[in-house]
Amino acid sequence: MPSHPMPYGQGMVAVLIGVLTLGGAAAAQAPLVANLDPLTGPRSRLAKDWVGLAPLPNTTPILVLAGHADSQGIGGAGTAGAAVDLAGAPPMQPGLRDELHWNLLTAQAVVALGQRRGLAIRFYDPPLRTIADGDDPRTNWSVGKAHAEAGGYALEIHYDAYGPDGVGSGLIPPLHRPPTRVDESLALAFGPYPLLYREGLGAPKRGIAILEIGKLEGALEAALRDPIRRQATLEAIAIRVVSALEQGLGRSPGAPIATANPAAFTPPPDGERTGRPERRRSTRPGAW
């Protein structure tokens, strides 16, 4: 797959407008040309070896996490993106890898839209950008694991590595229970990864789904970096994610639902580090 997908021109603008104005299943998908999504670029070509059939109640609380939010400066910090590494562009935010910058903005856009449309959805942001121990109670992994064990759906947002190190957009399902209809819906909207991708990553092993939005390169990265197109791009991605969540939960877009278990929405207290601090291990630049 080429490093630079189709240029962002009038056709891409039309796709963005279409995704922004459609709801439900239509907004969860975009036309594909040779496995190239006009909005998010290349999709995963890896074999899908699972089917999400298990239903989830439409009151299921959803926790959204920004990938690498607690691993800056250590192993598993995320990709810097093609613009920084290949073109010499300055990072979007000093001290952060560009992937985390976009993970944060995308996760926040998803939660803001989901709340407006009536989903029981919230965002967790770790209090520190560097937490060496993956089992520290403040990490994405620990908070997401607790949320999943309580019956919620935990989703960690990522952007994939550029070039040959990246695979493309797609969902890596959690491993703590059989794949659900929410997993299936997100895979339909973004593409699938195998159930045991890289023999099981840290987040899925803890019950957290990983959603790769797209490779941080080419048209997608250019649209995100362009101040004129940035907001529309983030909104289009958020609509696709939220529409897929709604479809997977079996509810109409924007339909009000009863409040789920309030305990599932209570952020855990800040805790001390547990166990001996360890460096996170990244299996590749894009996701782990």
Percent of the chain with pLDDT over 90: 74
* pLDDT band at residue 263 using 50, 70 and 90 as cut-offs: very low
Kindly calculate the radius of gyration of the chain based on its CA atoms and give it in whole angstroms: 17
For residue 40, give the nearest of 185, 173, 182, 191 by alpha carbon: 191
Q: Answer yes or no: is pLDDT of 1 > 80.
A: no
Spatial separation of the C-alpha atoms in residues 28 and 245, rounded to whole Å:
9
CB atoms within 10 A of CB 261: 14
Tens of pLDDT, residues 30-62: 455 568 999 999 999 999 999 999 999 999 999
10-32: average pLDDT: 39
71-100: average pLDDT: 97
CB atoms within 10 A of CB 156: 29
| Predicted local confidence at residue 261, as pLDDT | 42
Q: Answer yes or no: is pLDDT of 68 > 90.
A: yes
| Predicted local confidence at residue 280, as pLDDT | 42
User: At 228, which amino acid appears?
Assistant: I
Look over the chain and give the mean of its residue pLDDT values, rounded to a whole number. 83
Spatial separation of the C-alpha atoms in residues 88 and 172, rounded to whole Å:
31
Q: Answer yes or no: is pLDDT of 166 > 80.
A: yes
13-30: average pLDDT: 38
185-212: average pLDDT: 97
Q: In this predicted model, which residue has the larger pLDDT, 35 or 287? A: 35
**Structure tokens given for 123:** 């965002």
Q: Answer yes or no: is pLDDT of 276 > 60.
A: no
Tens of pLDDT, residues 169-189: 999 999 999 999 999 999 999
Q: In this predicted model, which residue has the larger pLDDT, 164 or 20? A: 164
**Residues near 281 by beta carbon (within 8 Å), at least 6 away in sequence:** 75, 76, 288
Cβ atoms 200, 175 nearer than 8 A:
yes
| Predicted local confidence at residue 33, as pLDDT | 55
Q: Answer yes or no: is pLDDT of 210 > 80.
A: yes
46 to each of 71, 106, 215, how far by Cα in Å?
27, 24, 15
270-284: average pLDDT: 34
Q: Answer yes or no: is pLDDT of 131 > 90.
A: yes
Spatial separation of the C-alpha atoms in residues 162 and 210, rounded to whole Å:
17
Spatial separation of the C-alpha atoms in residues 159 and 39, rounded to whole Å:
13
Q: Answer yes or no: is pLDDT of 10 > 70.
A: no
Architecture of 57-265 per CATH? 3-Layer(aba) Sandwich (3.40)
Cβ atoms 148, 207 nearer than 8 A:
yes
Sorted by where each begins, the domain ranges of the chain are: 57-265
| Predicted local confidence at residue 251, as pLDDT | 86
**Structure tokens given for 189:** 């909207």
* pLDDT band at residue 252 using 50, 70 and 90 as cut-offs: confident
| Predicted local confidence at residue 21, as pLDDT | 34
The backbone torsions φ and ψ at residue 114, rounded to the nearest 5 degrees and listed phi first, read -60, -40
Q: Number of helices (H) and strands (E) in the chain: give both, helices first.
A: 9, 7
Spatial separation of the C-alpha atoms in residues 216 and 233, rounded to whole Å:
13
Tens of pLDDT, residues 217-227: 999 999 999 99
Spatial separation of the C-alpha atoms in residues 15 and 6, rounded to whole Å:
13
